[in-house]
Structure 1
Amino acid sequence: MSRVFHSDSILLNQAFEDKISAIKKAGEILIDLGCIQSEYIDSMIERDEKISVYIGNGVAIPHGMAGSEKYIKASGVSFIQVPKGVSFGPDKIAYLIIGIAGVDEEHLEILAKLAITCSDMGKIEKLRTAKTKEEVLEILSDL
């Protein structure tokens, strides 16, 4: 699925004042890639309000609510490294923000692949400390 994730999808060494800013930036990358309409970002924020998009291990995976599919033009993944972290709630600090938009069943396929990668603390640490986009692409090559 290299078409959904490439170097233009990646931002390293970022900082955010709050989780809303982080989610918006993840969505803005997807807009810039031509994957979503701006309304999808609102759905990503709403999803976090209803059920936290923080999945543990220092990772948040913002994505839209059911029904937001109409705002997705193409499948895509955005990746933001936040070395100092951003709070997604008490004891929920995200150092990696991975925004996703998936057309049809690709949404679940992307989530499943990310879940496997994000359960490996060795890979998470490498993503947190990556200095180049190439390092990130290598670790997330299965996307």
Structure 2
Amino acid sequence: MACIFDEDNIQLNIQFDNKYDAIKEAGKILLNRDCIEPEYIDAMIEREDKVSVYIGNGVAIPHGVGGSEKYIKKSGLSFLQIPEGIDFGDGKIAYLVIGIAGVDGEHLDILANIAVTCSDVEKVEQLKKATTKESVLSILDM
């Protein structure tokens, strides 16, 4: 899997007014890395409007709706650490927002890898408290 995930895809200790701003920023990182077309960010927001991308344990994984694959140029991840958290509705607070774009079905492999990591409460705590991009990279190990 030729996944684009390095220090340039990580933002630590940031805050947002709402979940849509966080999703847009996760998409903007992928856009700036030339992984996606701008339309994919709209598809990420549409996904959240249809079904919440909050997966539990303080983690949200925004990605596009079905059919938005045509806006993906290459696979990539973005990582946002939000210490104060952002409300994804119904009291679900995300402290980590991980944007995903995957070509040729790679997003399913990426989602599976992230889901395994983010189901480990200890690893999520480490990611929430990480102070360096290197530590995020080593914990996610993509």
The CA deviation string for residues 84-141 of structure 1, in whole angstroms up to 9 with x for no partner, is 0000002200000000000012110000000000000000000000000000000011
Task: Determine whether 1:134 maps to 2:134.
Answer: yes
Amino acid at match of 1:95: Y
Q: Distance in 2 between matches of 1:16 and 1:88?
A: 12
Secondary structure (helix, strand or coil) at the match of 1:80 reads strand
Q: What does residue 29 of structure 2 align with?
A: 29
Contact 2:2/2:75 (8 A) holds in 1: no
The CA deviation string for residues 55-77 of structure 1, in whole angstroms up to 9 with x for no partner, is 00000000000000000000000
The CA deviation string for residues 22-47 of structure 1, in whole angstroms up to 9 with x for no partner, is 00000000001110011000000000
Q: Distance in 1 between matches of 2:95 and 2:127?
A: 9
TM-score normalised to the size of structure 1?
0.97
Q: Distance in 2 between matches of 1:52 and 1:86?
A: 13
Q: Which 5+ residue runs of structure 2 have no aligned equivalent?
A: none
Contact 2:37/2:72 (8 A) holds in 1: yes
Q: What does residue 7 of structure 1 align with?
A: 7
Amino acid at match of 2:21: S
Q: What does residue 96 of structure 2 align with?
A: 96
Q: Distance in 1 between matches of 2:6 and 2:126?
A: 17
State the shift of 1:2 in Å.
Answer: 6.8
Q: What does residue 113 of structure 1 align with?
A: 113
Count, aligned residues: 142
TM-score normalised to the size of structure 2?
0.98
Aligned alpha-carbon RMSD (Å): 0.9
Amino acid at match of 2:127: L
Q: Distance in 2 between matches of 1:95 and 1:7?
A: 18
- Give the share of equivalent positions with the same residue, in percent: 63
Q: Distance in 1 between matches of 2:120 and 2:3?
A: 24
Task: Determine whether 1:124 maps to 2:128.
Answer: no
Secondary structure (helix, strand or coil) at the match of 2:80 reads strand
Alignment of 1:74-93 (within 5 A): 74-93=74-93
Secondary structure (helix, strand or coil) at the match of 1:4 reads coil
